[in-house]
Chain A
Amino acid sequence: MTAARSVEHAEHFESLERQAHAARLGMWVFLATEVLLFGAAFALFLTYQVQFSHAFRAGVAHNTKVLGSVNTAVLLLSSTLVACAVHALRRGDAKLAARLVGGTIALGLTFLVIKGIEYGKHFDEGIYPGGVGHYFTLHPIRGLAAFWTLYFGMTALHALHVTIGAGVLGVLLHAIVRGRLGRETAYRLEVGAIYWHLVDVIWIFLWPLFYLA
């Protein structure tokens, strides 16, 4: 590979290819731990769902379904953009890659704004985590507080991941613009993109649990 020789690899790696493989494997191992973190939360959700299915259906029926669904589309589109960005950078089109990464970050921020609007609506209705708020005195259904507490906890944990992902992509965007990331080092953007996709995958499961079924 002539392209790989033009960029220096770290001393302890045989080649840039090996270095890229190690970087990707490291990210996958990290993602496996993330899956376990969210997995515990999903297990908790399903446990309460089985116990209080009536309350959970009432919670879902009351949730901001349209905003949540728009947010799903926003994240799916952002994943598509960052996947295109990786391909563009691999072909050496840094300018287009930078635009696509910029678009991904913008969509991530859009997601956070919509999430904030949703939280605002819930607070206006008197729905707070821990079963606090006048909504729960008006609707004394056993398990309803558990639904909304899990909703706030899991979506806030996810929003934190969106924020971190947008930050990571921001650093990568800066590197592309400065010319420090190019065709040979596209694997770095790839690693950041993989993290972004995982954030998308987690939301793919949060959406039906809290908004649809």
Chain B
Amino acid sequence: MTQPATLKLEQVTKRYGRDVLAVNNFTQNFDPGSYVCLLGPSGCGKTTTLRMIAGHESVTSGEILLDGTAVNKIPPAKRGTAMMFQSYALFPHLTVQDNVAFSLKMKKVGKSARLREAAELLEMVDMDGYKNRLPAQLSGGQQQRVALARALITKPSVLLLDEPLSALDPFLRVRMRSELSTLQRNLNITFIHVTHSQDEAMSLADRIVLMNDAVIEQAGTPDEIFNKPVSEFVARFMGGHNVVTVQGVMGAVRTDKIKLIGNGNNADKRLSGKLTYVEFLGQNVNINLETDSANDITASITDSAYKKLNLQVGDEIGVNWETDDFHLLTQ
């Protein structure tokens, strides 16, 4: 396969017309051979960013650099990127092998050579037994593998994946997640994966770029993003956090770091609230409290701890946490 390349976006901005700002001043380095997730709620500009890197969307201002060369004006196929589309966009009139060999046919590679190469790629994604089928005769997961093979046959140095798992059922999604990650490690090329699911991003990415409202909210490793959220948005979007304000200072505390202090216990408490409902999740139990301040608190405790506490809905419960677990938020 090709050498991994460094992808760099410098102050990339996309406007539609005068008023709509889709991506604002996006600057980010993508290390060669890394798995990066562009994460964010729908409409945050993550897909637009991906499409600009692919060349399917023009850049209003700023530069996209691949190994130091600006590729803004270069057509998609000449950039060294390949894109896997959200609904896979397989050609319905072509067989699996012709779909995979499509880009070679466009380059006027001879029939036997291109079918041989397509067969190799299909073998890599475990689809060699289906080469004469039409896309409509494949399941969602199989279509995805074919789409992967079709994108990889161009030997890209950056593979762009637009919500690749959203069309799959939850069970298959988890399995394809590990396959994508293995594939990326074996190929050692950069994967840029757009998703709105924080689970997906956390489990796959070496680096997460979290976007909101056309700008990058925070970029870093999954650990950094989850444990050191810089803003209320990040803490809330990643989930698993309580955003609390104590003495005018806003911070985030992970739900599993919350300590509950039951009735009649006089230990220190930072906040207190009334138990509104309990969610039983198996290993863990989520306890939801309504506090006097605007924000409700969720505490995630183990099943056995929950049984020991013997709580009832309506109980007044105290809440405490270690000072170190309180993470300051800027806004």
Do A and B come from the same complex?
no
